[in-house]
Structure formats: C-alpha cells, structure tokens
C-alpha cells in the first residue's frame, strides 16, 4: 500500500520546471486536502531534491517558505527564477506559474 508520504513525493516529482505547486495543492493531489502542513514537513525532510524538486512548492499565496538548501529562501528564489517562474514582488505569480496537473 502506498503511503501518504510516497504519494506526496511522487506528485511533487511531477511538477515541471517553470511551474510551482502549493502545499495544499499537493496535499489534495496526494489524497488528504487538509494535510498542507504535513506536506511542508515532508518537503523539509526531502531526501533527494534532484528527484523531488521541493523548491517548486510554495504557500497558497505564492510566498516562498522555508528551504533547507544553500541560503534558504534566497536560493529557492534564485532557482525558481532560473527555471522561468514568474514573480510579482516577493511572491510567485500563481496565476501564471502555478502547475495545472493534467
């Protein structure tokens, strides 16, 4: 049986470059729409950022929250900009850059 953790990592691994998903969006896609905080904890404990691009997960308002790699949120922003994610000030423009799973 596949666990919630495995589902979250699987769905997160599908977020393409240039797009982001919210913690709540991942929780819903993994089968537990009320588990956004749990998704955040899983992203913080992500064992391999090359397989699970946790930098592509943001708050429901497009804010960049914690990031364990490099210089934290600064590094997260730099990576997202390089990947083509569009910002409006300090937040990701979710109208443009939010991933729409097909």
At 61-77, the pLDDT tens digits run: 999 998 888 899 999 99
Q: Which of 11, 20, 29, 54 is the catalytic position?
A: 54
Q: How many CA atoms lie within 13 A of 65 on its CB side?
A: 18
**Model confidence over 8-59: pLDDT tens digits?**
999 999 999 999 999 999 999 999 999 999 999 999 999 899 999 999 999 9
Q: What is the CA 26 to chain-centroid distance, rounded?
A: 8
Question: Residue 84 falls within a domain, yes or no?
Answer: yes
Question: Residue 100 falls within a domain, yes or no?
Answer: no
- Annotated active-site residue 54? The verdict is yes
| DSSP run (H or E) holding 9 | helix 4-13
Other beta carbons less than 10 A from residue 59's beta carbon: 17
The CATH number of residue 16's host domain is 1.10.10.10
- Residue, of 22 and 1, whose pLDDT is higher: 22
Residue 58: give the domain boundaries.
4-95
Residue pair 12/26 in contact (Cβ under 8 Å)? The answer is yes
């Amino acid at each position: 049986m596949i666990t919630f953790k495995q589902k979250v990592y699987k769905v997160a691994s599908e977020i393409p470059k240039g797009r982001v998903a919210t913690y709540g969006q991942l929780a819903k896609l993994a089968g537990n729409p009320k588990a956004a905080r749990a998704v955040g904890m899983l992203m913080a404990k992500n064992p391999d950022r090359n397989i699970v691009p946790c930098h592509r997960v943001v708050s429901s308002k497009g804010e960049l929250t914690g990031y364990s790699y490099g210089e934290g949120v600064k590094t997260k922003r730099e990576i997202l900009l390089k990947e083509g994610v569009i910002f409006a000030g300090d937040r990701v423009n979710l109208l443009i850059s939010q991933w729409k799973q097909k």
